[in-house]
Amino acid sequence: MGTSHRRPGAPERVALTGTPGTGKSSVGRRIAVRFPVVEVGDLALAQGLGRRTRSGVQVDLPALARWMRRKRPDAGDLVVVGHLSHLLPISDVVVLRCRPDVLVRRLRSARRGTARDRRENYLAEALDIVVAEAVGLGRRVWEVDTTGRSAASVAKEVEELILRRPGPRFGAVDWLSHPRVAAHLLDPPA
């Protein structure tokens, strides 16, 4: 099963993050049966550190990070869900991944974002931006590929990662080597 890195009695926060469209909210809803889960935007609003906009919640990320550092250690476990969660002071990070062309189809079918937003998300996912940011901040990172998988199967894997806290697992997802992604980046649609 692997060695657990959980420290008895210490708060165990986990960031569930990824490019928009990878399945964070769907997985977060499913794991909320076992763990306390909060979306970054909701947490910011509850602390007066965010404001609603037409497209969602604008989060004062530095202020939210300061608030999280001050939060009492006995506040308990918490899974913080959102594409900004890996930028908060949370040492354990689960990054959901999705092959970029599938990601864009998901976003388009859900009518999320503009064509430009979807192109930016495609590039962010293809270039491993979220993983690189989390690793660069010294986080313990686990990648989970959601491509072609149900939210239930991804949630089960995420629950296991949260419970076991194995050693880091990232770098196996390489969209740049996928022929469809490489072709798209070399000759993007107009």
HEC profile for 11-25?
A: CCEEEEEECCCCCHH
Asked if the structure places residue 118 within a domain, the reply is no
Report pLDDT for 178. Answer: 85
- pLDDT tens for residues 66-114? 999 887 554 556 899 999 999 999 999 999 999 999 999 999 999 998 9
- 8-state DSSP, 145: E
Report pLDDT for 70. Answer: 87
Number of domains in the chain: 1
Asked if the structure places residue 122 within a domain, the reply is no
Expressed in angstroms, the distance from the first to the final Cα of the chain is 48
Asked if the structure places residue 156 within a domain, the reply is yes
Identify whether the C-beta of residue 97 lies closer than 8 Å to the C-beta of residue 125.
yes
Asked if the structure places residue 139 within a domain, the reply is yes
The mean pLDDT of the chain is 89
Structural domain including 56 reads: 13-96+130-170
Q: List Cβ<8 Å contacts ≥24 apart for 120-123.
A: 121/19, 121/20, 121/21, 122/184, 123/185
Asked if the structure places residue 135 within a domain, the reply is yes
Report pLDDT for 73. Answer: 52
Report pLDDT for 4. Answer: 44
Asked if the structure places residue 108 within a domain, the reply is no
Q: What is the mean pLDDT of residues 147-174?
A: 95
- The residue among 4 and 12 whose pLDDT is bigger is 12
Which H helix or E strand runs over 181? helix 179-186
**What percent of the chain has pLDDT above 90?**
75
Asked if the structure places residue 7 within a domain, the reply is no
Q: How many beta carbons lie within 10 A of that of residue 9, not counting itself?
A: 8
Report pLDDT for 11. Answer: 44
HEC profile for 98-141?
A: CCHHHHHHHHHHCCCCCHHHHHHHHHHHHCCHHHHHHHHCCCEE
Asked if the structure places residue 124 within a domain, the reply is no
Predicted confidence band of residue 151 (pLDDT cuts 50, 70, 90): very high
**What percent of the chain has pLDDT above 70?**
89
Report pLDDT for 189. Answer: 63
Q: What is the mean pLDDT of residues 1-15?
A: 55
Predicted confidence band of residue 3 (pLDDT cuts 50, 70, 90): very low
CATH number (domain holding residue 86): 3.40.50.300
Q: Has residue 38 got a pLDDT over 80?
A: yes
Report pLDDT for 179. Answer: 84
Q: What is the mean pLDDT of residues 53-65?
A: 92
